[in-house]
A and B are shown apart, each in its own frame.
Chain A
Amino acid sequence: MKKVLLPFLLLMLILAVVPDAKAQIPRERSGSAAVVEELFWAPSIILQPSSTQIDKGNLDFTIQHAFGLVSRGVKNLYGLDDPANIRFGLDYGVRDWLSAGIGRSRFDKTFDGRIKLRLTSDPALRTNVFVNAAVETPEDGRSFEHRMSYFSGLLLSRKISEKLFVQVMPAWSHFNLVDINKLPDASIEAGENDHFILGVAARYELSEQVSALLDYMPVLGNRSDNTNNVVSIGMDFEAGGHVFQMFFTSTQWITPQHAISESQRSISDGDLGFGFNIHRMFGSSTR
């Protein structure tokens, strides 16, 4: 008994007298869920909605401008002197996968409300749904119902390479009433209530802060007379809380249903106008 006890006693004595050796706690990874890498820097590409979602609790304030034709020359400062369509918008991240927003455009005094949600975040094929409803509010005697229009699209996007990101968007737009008399250009002879498009968009990353953008919205099937597919090309500039998008586009309409069904500019005639979008993200992490 004594033989066993003595070493035990000595060990206890050592433990009691010698100060505790300082030891760091073992470092362990937190296991935080991997961040879903967004394929586009802003919730819109140029005119098309992008698959990018607004984080829960964040607010995206958007200012969008589309000016007159560049071909108007220096006397009109390449279209900048012409009346511009302007849209102000606010989109809020209700969840990381769901945002809701409102906006107001100058043309036809159009108010719009919209929702975007992410269905899958698989980088091989990300899927989102975007829907909006818009109401035009000029004093022209139309009933509320006849002022309404709608747009819905399925956003399919993926990362092609480290620098190239693409999105395809089958979409449908609907106007309750196609009123040819409200159009400033009387050359439109007949309008369609419904349009189907297959939007194509891409972002090519030139640097960590600069990307090139393409946004193309070809109409499939019937379309309103004298209207043309909308093409936009531009640049993305990412600056922390801001994303600046500067572009040339073949429409002055900003809400997608109007761009699809009412754009008369023709890219083949060089009908391009300058425009820009500014996205400013506000949130609990941005001051």
Chain B
Amino acid sequence: MKARQTINQKCLLVATVLLLVSVAPVFGQSYSSDVGHVEFLSSVPLHSFVGSSDVLTGVINLTDASVDFYIDLESLRTGNRKRDKDMRKTLETDEYPFAEFYGSLDSTVDSLLSEPQPVKVSGDFTIHGVSQKIDVSGTLQFVDGGVLVRAEFIILLDDFEITPPRLLVFKVDQEQRISLSSTLERQ
């Protein structure tokens, strides 16, 4: 009887250890934020303008190296309400409200370093209902209780079946420079 009890206790101990092992990385290596900053830089001849938002949501999970960011495109502001309206129309935000990136971290990072570390991620960027594989370079810096992420990349509107709007005789440039910065907190 006593031997059976000992076996059961051992099994319980093993199960508890396994449970802790299975969930520990998730809680220890996952970072998230919903107040990141993102900018879409657009150009037309003679001037350029920026659509920016401070509700960039993202998660980086160092356990499985997944990287997931998205932005509600209707939160973008360009400083000109007519332009905001035109932008939403061009991007058809009623139908496709999000721009999102989902991929994986291709670089290894050292969580003990406090300096910015260059990283590369690859994955799918989706906007206007169209997904394309992209590679993004950026930096990742471990700060107190979190990680600061900075990245910048370029997309072409044609690749996402977006017709560049015209401003009188000028057409908005195909090239859109997207930059983001976000401090993600450890979960």
Binding site for B on A (CB under 8 A): 1-2, 5-6, 8-9, 12-13, 15-16, 19-20, 22, 24-25, 27-30, 32, 35-38, 41, 55, 57-58, 208-209, 237-241, 281, 283-287
Whole-angstrom CA separation of A55 from B78 in the bound complex: 10
Q: State how many residues of chain B have any CB contact under 8 Å with chain A.
A: 56
Residue among B18, B48, B79, B170 with max Cβ neighbours from chain A (10 Å): B79
Q: Is the CB of B66 within 8 A of A9?
A: no
Which residue in B51, B79, B86 is a CB contact (below 8 Å) of A208? B86
Whole-angstrom CA separation of A38 from B86 in the bound complex: 12
Q: Is the CB of B47 within 8 A of A240?
A: yes
Instruction: Tell me whether B68 is interfacial, beta carbon within 8 Å.
Output: yes
Is chain A's interface secondary structure helix, strand, loop, or mixed overall? loop
CB of B90 to closest CB in A, whole Å: 10
Q: Is the CB of A35 within 8 A of B80?
A: no
Q: Is the CB of B52 within 8 A of A5?
A: no
Q: Is the CB of A239 within 8 A of B100?
A: no
Q: Is the CB of B79 within 8 A of A41?
A: no
Name 28 interchain pairs, CB-CB below 8 A, sorted by A: A1-B8, A2-B4, A5-B15, A8-B15, A12-B18, A15-B19, A16-B18, A20-B26, A25-B57, A27-B97, A30-B55, A35-B77, A35-B84, A37-B81, A37-B85, A55-B81, A57-B79, A208-B166, A238-B167, A239-B168, A240-B170, A241-B80, A285-B49, A286-B47, A286-B48, A286-B78, A287-B47, A287-B48
- Given the known interface contacts A29-B72, A32-B75, A58-B79, the answer about A285 and B64 at a Cβ–Cβ threshold of 8 Å is no
Mask of B64-95 contacts with A, CB within 8 angstroms, 1/0: 10101011101101111111111000000000
CB of B27 to closest CB in A, whole Å: 12
Q: Is the CB of B80 within 8 A of A286?
A: yes
Q: Is the CB of B22 within 8 A of A12?
A: yes
Q: A12-B15, A32-B55, A38-B81 are in contact. List 11 more A-B contacts (CB 8 A).
A: A2-B11, A9-B15, A12-B18, A12-B22, A22-B66, A25-B68, A27-B98, A28-B72, A29-B72, A30-B75, A32-B53
